[in-house]
Structure 1
Amino acid sequence: MKKIIYIISGAGQRSSLNFYKQMTNKASLTIACDSGIEIFKKINFPPNYLMGDFDSAKTEDILWAKENGTIILDFPKEKDEIDTELALIFLRKEKKKDVILSGVLGNRIDQELANIFLLAEYIDLNPIIFEEDIKIGVVNKKVTEEAIPEESWSILRIGEPVYGLTLKGFKYSLYKKNLDNFKSLGISNYAAENQVEISVDNGIVIYIRWINKRH
C-alpha cells in the first residue's frame, strides 16, 4: 500500500473520526498544524510533528502531544506564512511527496483560498486536500482519478492562462481547450465513467471532486 504524508490543520473537524483514523494509518509521517492537534488527540494518535504559532491550540492538547513523543516546532505569531504552509516548507526541505491535507476547509473563505493556492505553489509535493465529502487537487500535466458516474466535479484555472485542457471520462468532455479568462467554464461537470483524466499542455488547473454528491 502506498504511504502518504498526512497533515491535519486547524480549520476544524469536517469528517468522521473514523476517516481520520484511516488516513493516519496510511501515513508514514504525520503533522498537526496548531489546533489540528485536537483531532489527533480525539483519535489517540500522536503525530510525529506539531507545528505552528499556537494561537489556537489548547494548552492541554499541546502537553498531550509533547508527553507522547511528538516533536514541537514553535513559530512566532508575526510571520508571512500560515501554519499549513510552514508544514509544506518543512516537507519540501525533507524532499517528501504525496502529501494529503485535512482540516484546511473551514468557515473563512480567505483561509480556504490560501490553502488551495498552496496546492499550486507546492505542486512538487503532489499535494491534495481530502475530506470524506471532497477532494481537491492540482494538475500541471496529467492526472487520472477514480470517479463515480454522475458524481459532481469542477475544473478551474488557477494562476496563468491554461492551454490545451483536455477532459476525458466526463459528461462534458473537452479537447485542447484554452482558458485565457476567469469565466465559469468548468463548474458543475460530472463524471460519466469510473475513471476520469484531466490534462493540460501548459498552465495549472484545480479539480474539485464532490465525493458521492450527484450532479
Structure 2
Amino acid sequence: MTTIALVAGGPRENLANLTKYHSEDVIWVGIDRGSRYLLDFNLPLHYAFGDFDSISAKELENLKTKIPDLNTLPSEKDKTDTEIALDWCISQKPDQIFIFGATGGRLDHLLGNIHLLIKSTSTQSKIDIIDQQNQITLYTAGTYTVKRQIEWNYISFVAISADIYGLTLNGFKYPLKNCHIRLGSTLCISNELISDVGTFSFRDGILLMIRSRD
C-alpha cells in the first residue's frame, strides 16, 4: 500500500501527531509552512510545494538545503498551494492520501480544503483530512463498513450534495433506515458506534463522514 502524506500550514495547535502516521513507505510532502512542521517533527521531507510566503527568508534557505527540488509556486495563481500539491499526489496514484495542517485558522482555507475531498470521486486514492481532533472522509453512494475506534468516539455524517437518499445506519447508537438527508441538516451529528463494526449505506448523493474525539 502506497501512502502520500501532505502537510499544509494550518495552525500548529490543530496539527495531528504526525509521527503516528509515519513509516518507511510514507512519502511526506510539505506545503509552504507545512514543510517546516515536518522538519520540526524530524520527519523526512521528500517534496515541497508553495509560494513560501508564510515562512521567513532564513527558513526558506534552510529548506533549500534540505530539499533541492523545491516546487516554488507564484503567489498569484488560480489554485491554492494545497490543491496544486494534492493534484500532484493524485497523479502519483497512491492507495492513500493523508492531508494534515488543513484545518483551523482562516475559514476560507478550511472550507476550500474540505471541498478538495471531492477530487476523491475521480481517483482510486482514498483521501482523508486529519487534525488533532477530527478525521474527515468523503463518500459517494454505496455500502461501507466502519470499525469502532476508541480514539474516535463520535461519528457524524454531513451532506455535501443537495440531498442524500436512502441513508441507512446499522450498529450505531442512533440507527437510521432509508432516510432522506438534505444539505444543511444536522440530524446525523454526534452519533456513536455501539457495535465493533457498523455499516452505513446510501443510494445517491455525496456525504462526509467525520470521526471526532472530545
| TM bucket, shorter chain | 0.7 to 0.9
| TM-score (norm: length of structure 1) | 0.86
Tell me which residue corresponds to 1:91. 89
Structure 2: gaps spanning 5 or more residues: none
Fraction of identical pairs, as percent: 27
Unaligned runs of 5+ in 1: none
CA spacing shift, 1:130–1:196, aligned 2, 3 Å: farther
**Residues 133 and 159 (structure 1), Cα distance of their counterparts in 2 relative to 1, 3 Å cut:** same
Contact 1:100–1:130 (CA<8 Å) still a contact in 2? yes
Runs of 4+ in 1 over 4 A off after TM superposition: none
Pick closer, same or farther for the CA change 1:25–1:175 going to 2, 3 Å: same
Q: CA separation in 2, counterparts of 1:36 and 1:196? A: 35
**Equivalence map 1:41-190=2 (5 Å):** 41-69=39-67, 71-123=69-121, 124=123, 125-140=125-140, 141-148=142-149, 151-190=153-192
Q: Deviations over 1:73-95 (max 9, x none)?
A: 11111112121111111122222
Name the CA distance, whole Å, in 1 between partners of 2:174 and 2:195. 12
TM-score (norm 2): 0.86
Question: Residue deviations 1:141-184, cap 9 Å, x none?
Answer: 33333224792221110024222222222111112222244222
Alignment of 1:21-36 (within 5 A): 21-25=19-23, 27-36=25-34
Give distance in 2, aligned partners of 1:203 and 1:148. Answer: 26
Q: Secondary structure at the match of 1:36?
A: helix
How far apart are the structure 2 equivalents of 1:107 and 1:35? 13
Match of 1:54, SS state, is coil
Confirm or deny: 8 A CA contact 2:160 2:183 kept in the other structure.
no
